[in-house]
Chain A
Amino acid sequence: MNRHVNPEDSDLYALGALDGAEMQELEAHVRTCAQCAGEIDAARQRVALLGMAAPAVAPPARVKEALLRQVRAERIPEAHRAGVAKAERTDSGSRALRFAWLTPVFGVAAVIFAALAAGIWMKDSRDNRRIHELEGQLALAQTRSLEIARAADETDKLLGTPGTMRVALEQQAGWTSGRAGVLYNAKMGMVACSGWLPAPPEGKSYQLWLVPMEGKPVPLQVLSGGEWTQTLTAHVTPGMAAKAFAVTVEPKGGMPWPTGPKVLVGGVSQGE
């Protein structure tokens, strides 16, 4: 590659979105071209900070506590630990004979103490685990609520724009439950979908598709199923005429084209 790097490729490279061969070609050129290396650096600056576009979510306090505990543990020098162990061994050896008669008493006390400590520890452990779970759920809920708010804004926009069509998706033979509705505005290239589906089969996901008048189905959203009732939005190339919308069962995470059975289908009335 002797020509300079296309600015579009700088951004895609910095995002890690270039495919293998293109990436290698670009890297080979940048190694010998200071001008393009500068372009790539500038793109990396911009891209690095895109992470700041995620709405802030505070980590639970226990992460910092665990980090500092681990750091402190690593700070205890090995030599010091070895020295302590040696002193403990020497000291205990000299006292062993003098206090031998206390051994059974301490033994019983130790068993009682251990049982009490284990009980308290198990309760604390259960409580901490529960707190851990709740904090995790809270962080996820914060993220989801921001996404739901965005989807709600986009749905409002769809509903308020002329040309938005409503499509009801009907259950297909062999599926006993589930329903969904789609709002689609071809001019905006925007889709909103809400509904309910039972939990997907093990290792599978539901996936929503737009079936265009011409060409292959366009993947829109991977749906979790189960308690899916909130509105999800997706975007397609503006101006795409839709023939139908469908939900299929696909391998977990979704596919670029439909491979599984149809669960819900809704045809677009051509009058719309």
Chain B
Amino acid sequence: MTAPLQQVQDSSLVERIMAGDENALAALYDRYAGMLFAMLVRILRDASAAEEVLQDLFLQLWRGASRFDASRGSMAAWLLVIGRNRALSRLRGKERHEILADSEEFSIEAVPSPGNLENDAARAQLMQRLQGAMAALPSEQREAVELAYFEGMTQTEIAARVGCPLGTVKSRVRAAMQTLKQVFDDESTRQPGRL
């Protein structure tokens, strides 16, 4: 008896995708599309554009699943990194074909991540904790991180936007990331052996 696809590990789903199993792709989509779409809408501020990037992202996964190496990192982080890069490229006005033609993007170094993000409950818990931690950050720290992550601004652009010295921006990002690091560390402690 085989396990339902919802319970199958990402690495096994990727193997099935490589064998041409579209149900495996659908299972990965169901697992990560909500998380990705939220990020894409936040970056692009355009639901139609976010839908397009989301669809392209999974289509590229279908075409190039062999490039994912589960031993080097998690699928969740991999998709978030690539999805963010694509959304920011689009936001900056790169031509669509430039983004889609960038097949090398799928060869980027895998990104390890804390916790078992393949599990719906664990993923939801981490999302909730991250959202809580972001909301609890001092507003200027949160703003600096959000401008960098969701708007793709450089530190110089952030400094100009918020009207403060470059060094202050660095300190704010540093302090915010230290706080958020605690969330990831706690999550790893909650799920020992799942790193």
Contact = CB atoms under 8 A, between A and B. Distances in A.
Which secondary structure dominates chain B's binding surface?
Answer: helix
Contacts of B181: 46
B162 A8 contact: no
B191 interface: no
A237 to B, nearest CB: 5
Contacts of B156: 19
Interface in B110-149: 111-114, 123, 126-127, 130-131, 133-135, 139-140, 143, 145, 148-149
A219 B113 CA distance: 36
Given A45-B112, A72-B22, A154 B173 contact: no
A41 B163 contact: no
Which secondary structure dominates chain A's binding surface?
Answer: helix
Interface in A207-231: 210, 216-219
B140 A12 contact: no
Contacts of A66: 55
Given A63-B55, A139-B50, A51 B84 contact: yes
B59 interface: yes
A50 B180 contact: yes
B70 interface: no
Interface in A46-70: 46-60, 62-64, 66-68, 70
A134 to B, nearest CB: 10
Contact of A219 (B34, B160, B180): B160
Interface string B163-187: 1100010110110010011001000
B149 A67 contact: no
A48 to B, nearest CB: 4
B41 interface: yes
Contacts of A237: 140, 162-164, 168
Contacts of A132: 48
B166 to A, nearest CB: 9
A17 B184 contact: no
Nearest to B130: A53
A25 B179 CA distance: 27
B96 interface: no
A221 to B, nearest CB: 10
Contacts of B177: 11, 43, 46-47
Contacts of A18: 154-155
Nearest to A210: B163
B5 interface: no
Contact of A15 (B29, B37, B148): B148
A27 interface: no
A7 B134 contact: no
A143 interface: yes
B115 to A, nearest CB: 9
Interface-centre pick from A63, A74, A210 (highest chain B CB count, 10 A): A63
B161 A140 contact: no
Interface string B80-121: 110110001000000000000000000000011110000000
7 contacts: A17-B155, A52-B39, A53-B127, A53-B130, A59-B37, A64-B33, A136-B46
Interface of A: 7-9, 11-12, 15-19, 41, 43-60, 62-64, 66-68, 70-72, 74-75, 132, 135-140, 143, 150, 154, 188-190, 210, 216-219, 234-238, 254, 256-257
- 3 closest Cβ contacts across the A-B interface? A218-B163, A256-B160, A136-B47
